[in-house]
Amino acid sequence: MNQITDGTSSTVLIDELRVGTVASDLRGTWAMGQVGASLFAGAGRWDSPGPNVGLSRYDDIMNGNDDPKNGMGCQVGANSYQVTTKSFHPGGVNLCLADGSVRFVVNSITVGAYQLMHSRDDGQVFSFGD
Q: What's the pLDDT tens digit per position in 30-65?
A: 555 444 444 555 444 556 778 898 899 888 877 788
Is the alpha carbon torsion for 15, 110, 61, 55 positive or negative? positive
Task: Spell out, as residue ranges, where the chain has pLDDT lower than 70.
Answer: 29-47, 81, 129-130
Q: Which long-range contacts (CB under 8 A, 24 or more apart) does 31-36 make?
A: 32/81, 34/81, 36/81
91-122 burial by CB neighbour count: b if 16+ within 10 A, else e? ebbebebbeeeebebeeebeeeebbbbbbbee
Q: Give the pLDDT confidence score for residue 104 in this predicted structure.
A: 94
What percent of the chain is predicted at pLDDT more than 70? 82
User: CB neighbours of 95 closer than 8 A, spacing ≥ 6?
Assistant: 12, 14, 15, 16, 85, 102, 103, 104, 105, 117
Question: What DSSP character marks residue 75?
Answer: B
Query: pTM for the full model?
Result: 0.78
